[in-house]
Amino acid sequence: MTKSNKAYNSFEVAQSQFDRVADLLDLKAATRELLRSPLREYSFAIPVRMDDGSVQVFRAFRVQHNDARGPSKGGIRFHPLETQDTVRALAMWMTWKCAVVDIPLGGAKGGVICDPHHLSAREQELVCRGWVRQIVKNVGPTIDVPAPDVMTSAQHMTWMLDEFEAVTGSRAPGFITGKPISLGGSQGRKEATGYGLVFTLREALREMGLRPEDTVASVQGFGNVAQYAIELFTQIGGRVEAVSCWDQADSTSYTYRKKGGVDLAELRAISDPFGGIHSGRAIELGYEKLSGDAWIEQDVDILIPAALENAIRADNVGRIGKRVRIVAEGANGPTTPEADSALKDRGIFVLPDLLANAGGVTCSYFEQVQSNMNYYWAKDEVLGKLDVKMTSAFLAVHELARKQKLYMRDAAYVIAVTRVAEACHDRGWV
């Protein structure tokens, strides 16, 4: 969703965020060294015979940052610009995310350098099965549990589960989450990340004395997270007036704006499985087509970056409108440290990613529990449990921020890092 920036390194950002909190907590040197880098990293090649008979080799990764609190957990993303440093950063953020919502899991992440837009279904299946074959000894229900991420879906998880079970000769639905309901997936999983974001946003609005029906938002992204965030935000009374996403025709990002609010159903009707929108049809429906970065300068109360990292940067943070009161981070690492300082100076209330988008991993944990015990909950029960978890986590972070006069991101990190450090200490690692 954003132009690549060679100077930007996600892992360096993640480490700088950790260093700041390590200083606040006065962590011992050994604890800092342990938590600052992943415990384990895997890099491997996946050879695939393509539909035209040629063989293409895809590079892939799995990084397990820390598993002191439980099995590693984290998605697998397919992206042409994937790097090992990006996966390292995402794995570290997953560790903190699991800890801040207090679920007994550690952080991991996986990736394949590929563009599924240009791969047939058969070729994508072979990439998925190849990924599992290369890493099968180092993942599993009690070791490391993958899940969907950017440009992967329930279908990709199904292929991976089938390959894992074929190789291990077992039935292990708890190996992976984000599965179809028919294969042990959880009700509410699709909605979880977007809904979880809105649960925390709802609480933030309450603390600020704002009613949802009096607020307007602009959203970056139109994938799973963004769509369900828009859905629940409008259900509680809010309005979304701008959405930034890919154009199906030229793979360029544009912002689609509509006075009075976007219509989620009509945008879904002209979108593809990867969150791209048919630009021409959007214009026919009355949407104004703006530049991809225009989402950040809209006259709104709330900004929701829900696409990729590096979305709010030093070069565009100054374009945020004066009306903006809240930034709710649906994406992982969407705000660079320089931009974060600017948001803090402006007094904008930031719902940090490791709290705001933790609904996905929380529901993945619910799915993992259900799969392992072979007993499944109704959708209302899942979403109810999710609401309780996300609300409790928000209240704990907000209370610490209030008591110690901390920035919300720092407060979330203090809670998360403290919990992980204590687990490492209790195990005798440091």
pLDDT at residue 420 is higher than 50: yes
Residues 338 and 310 grouped into a single domain: yes
Q: Is the predicted pLDDT of residue 5 greater than 60, yes or no? A: no
Confidence band, pLDDT 50/70/90 cuts, at residue 21: very high
Percentage above 70 pLDDT, the chain = 98
Same domain, 159 and 213: no
Q: Is 368 a domain residue? A: no
Average pLDDT over residues 14-36: 96
Q: What does the pLDDT average to over 300-327? A: 95
CATH classification of the domain holding 96: 3.40.50.10860
Q: Give yes or no: residues 122 and 68 share one domain.
A: yes
Do 145 and 236 belong together in one domain?
no
Q: Show which of 313, 341, 356 is a domain's final residue.
A: 356
**Per the domain annotation, does 23 fall within a domain?**
no
- Cα angle for residues 387, 229, 176 (degrees, 5° grid): 70
- How far apart CA 132 and CA 368 sit, in angstroms, is 18
Sign of the torsion formed by the C-alpha atoms of 224, 225, 226 and 227: positive
* Cα 138 from chain centre: 23
pLDDT at 6: 52
Q: Does residue 3 belong to any structural domain of this protein?
A: no
- For residue 86, name the pLDDT band (cuts at 50, 70, 90): very high
φ/ψ (deg, to 5) at 290: -120, 180
Q: Based on the structure, what is the number of domains in the chain? A: 2
The 3 state secondary structure assigned to 148-181 is: ECCCCCHHHHHHHHHHHHHHHCCCCHHHCCCCCH
Q: What is the pLDDT of residues 27-52, one digit of tens each?
A: 999 999 999 999 999 999 999 999 99
DSSP 138: G
Over the stretch 202-260, which tens digit does the pLDDT of each residue have?
999 999 999 999 999 999 999 889 999 999 999 999 999 999 998 877 778 999 999 89
pLDDT over 50 (residue 1): no
Q: Which residues of 37-68 are buried (b: 16+ CB within 10 A; e: fewer)?
A: bbbeebeeebebeeeeeeeeebebbbbbbbbb
Q: Is 6 annotated as a binding residue?
A: no
Residues ≥6 apart with Cβ < 8 Å to 331: 220, 221, 225, 305, 306, 307, 308, 309, 311, 353, 357
207 and 132 within one domain: no
Chain segment 123-139, per-residue pLDDT in tens: 999 999 999 999 999 99
Residue 158 annotated as binding site: no
Q: If pLDDT is split at 50, 70 and 90, which confidence band does 4 have?
A: very low
Q: 195 and 156: one domain?
A: no
Residues 141, 200, single domain; the answer is no
| 193 marked ligand binding residue | yes
Which among 356, 373, 392 is the end of a domain? Answer: 356
> Looking at the structure, do residues 233 and 91 belong to the same domain, yes or no?
no
Q: How many residues does this entry show for the chain? A: 430
Residue 281 and residue 249 share a domain: yes
* C-alpha atoms less than 13 angstroms from C-alpha of 179 in its C-beta half-sphere: 25
Active site residue 28: no
The model's confidence at residue 7, banded by pLDDT at 50, 70 and 90, is low
Do 145 and 251 fall into the same domain?
A: no
- Summarised one tens digit per residue, pLDDT across range 140-189 is 999 999 999 888 999 999 999 999 999 999 999 999 999 999 999 999 99
Residue 76 burial (10 A CB sphere; 0-12, 13-18, 19+) = buried
Look at residue 276 and tell me if it is in a domain: yes
Which of 140, 172, 204 delimits the end of a domain?
172
The one catalytic residue in 6, 109, 190, 259 is: 109
Query: Whole domain around residue 303: which residue ranges?
Result: 190-356
The per-residue DSSP string of 373-423 comes to: HT----HHHHHHHHHHHHHHHHHHHHHHHHHHT--HHHHHHHHHHHHHHHH
- For the stretch 336-353, pLDDT in tens is 989 999 999 999 999 999
Q: What is the pTM of this model?
A: 0.91
CATH number at residue 208: 3.40.50.720
Is 97 part of any known ligand binding site?
yes
Q: Is residue 14 part of a domain?
A: no
In a domain, 340, yes or no: yes
Structure tokens at 221: 């992204």
Are residues 209 and 348 both part of a single domain? yes
Residue 311: inside a domain, yes or no?
Answer: yes
| pLDDT higher than threshold 50 for residue 288 | yes
Identify the pLDDT of residue 22: 97
Measured CA distances, 270 to 92, 184, 254 (Å): 35, 30, 14
Same domain, 293 and 196: yes
